[in-house]
């Protein structure tokens, strides 16, 4: 079963960086292959594609005035407070794929949450996505995303293309978990579990595609990822403000 066929599943993690090219080189050097993904006014990004559904996005803005005219203007405006709080490169937030983000928004509003909806369309491809941001949750908590066509269908098309090209994911590193520091790990795990509809066991939320592990510490926020299959020493590695932990 594809992960996106769950009610909620990890989609992508945003790694905010200052020097996109240098960060891509650092990812490549530790065995996480990246490729340039998108360029638009004031904004560039790249990605480590974990598989046909999940990825880690490397993103940067070099001109905030120019970004105001781009398709991503609304989303970046909502992310700006979290970006400013980073005060440098680091992990910003992550996206959770759901079948209907607008239905999630309605449910959260009924529960008294403050939410914003953003729709992005690429008319030339007859495709797009809807994002839902929870404004009264910590900035490093996820936003929800629904693709059109749905992510499972996009993944099937990608898999068919790979098969035709003879490309395999065999032997590639896999993203296992996201790491978050907080003052109250168990409480934040319960809060996240309630938002995304996944079970929490102690301080870990069993989000399909990448579990979320909370631990006590400062500074608070997303700080690292756990990766299986890296050909490197067991010691954690730092990449542009992100800690990479290798798990056997």
Classify 28 as helix, strand or coil. Answer: helix
Q: What is the pLDDT of residues 232-246, one digit of tens each?
A: 666 899 999 999 999
- Using CA atoms of 21, 27, 32, 37 in order, give the dihedral in degrees to the nearest 10: -20
What pLDDT does 159 receive? 93
Q: Are 115 and 133 in contact (CB under 8 A)?
A: yes
What pLDDT does 171 receive? 84
pTM metric for this prediction: 0.95
Q: What is the pLDDT of residues 34-53, one digit of tens each?
A: 999 888 899 999 999 999 99
As a whole number, the mean pLDDT across the chain is 94
Q: Are 85 and 235 in contact (CB under 8 A)?
A: no
Q: Which residue has the higher pLDDT, 40 or 226?
A: 226
Helix runs in the chain, H state only: 20-29, 64-67, 73-86, 101-110, 151-165, 185-196
As a whole-number percent, the residues of the chain with pLDDT over 70 amount to 96
Give the pLDDT band of residue 60 (cuts 50, 70, 90).
very high
Task: Spell out the domain ranges in the chain.
Answer: 3-247
Q: What is the pLDDT of residues 143-184, one digit of tens each?
A: 999 999 999 999 999 999 999 989 888 889 999 999 999 999
Output the furthest CA–CA distance in the chain (Å, rounded).
49
Q: What is the pLDDT of residues 194-203, one digit of tens each?
A: 999 999 999 9
Residue among 51, 50, 47, 72 nearest 61 (CA): 72
Classify 7 as helix, strand or coil. Answer: coil
The β-bridge relationship of strands 143-148 and 90-97 is: parallel
Structure tokens at 112: 């008294």
- What CATH number has the domain spanning 3-247? 3.10.180.10
Give the pLDDT band of residue 208 (cuts 50, 70, 90).
very high
Q: What is the pLDDT of residues 79-113, one digit of tens each?
A: 999 999 998 999 999 999 999 999 999 999 999 99
The β-bridge relationship of strands 127-134 and 143-148 is: antiparallel
For residue 200, the cross-strand partners are 205
């Amino acid at each position: 079963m594809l992960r996106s066929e769950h009610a909620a599943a990890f989609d992508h993690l945003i790694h905010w960086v200052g020097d996109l090219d240098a960060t891509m080189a650092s990812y490549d050097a530790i065995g996480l292959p990246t490729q340039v993904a998108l360029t638009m006014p004031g904004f560039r990004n790249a990605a480590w594609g974990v598989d046909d559904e999940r990825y880690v996005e490397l993103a940067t803005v070099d001109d905030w005035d120019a970004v105001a005219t781009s398709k991503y203007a609304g989303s970046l405006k909502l992310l700006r407070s979290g970006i400013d709080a980073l005060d440098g490169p680091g992990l910003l937030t992550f996206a959770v794929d759901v079948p209907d983000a607008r239905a999630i928004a309605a449910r959260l509003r009924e529960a008294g949450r403050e939410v914003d909806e953003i729709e992005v369309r690429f008319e030339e491809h007859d495709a797009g996505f809807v994002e839902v941001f929870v404004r009264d949750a910590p900035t490093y908590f996820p936003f929800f995303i629904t693709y059109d066509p749905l992510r499972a269908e996009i993944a099937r098309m990608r898999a068919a293309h790979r098969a035709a090209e003879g490309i395999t994911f065999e032997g590639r590193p896999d993203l296992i978990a996201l790491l978050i520091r907080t003052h109250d790990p168990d409480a934040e795990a319960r809060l996240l579990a309630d938002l995304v509809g996944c079970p929490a066991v102690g301080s870990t939320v069993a989000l399909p595609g990448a579990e979320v592990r909370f631990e006590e510490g400062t500074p608070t926020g997303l700080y690292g990822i756990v990766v299986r299959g890296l050909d490197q020493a067991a010691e954690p590695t730092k990449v542009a403000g992100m800690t990479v932990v290798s798990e056997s």
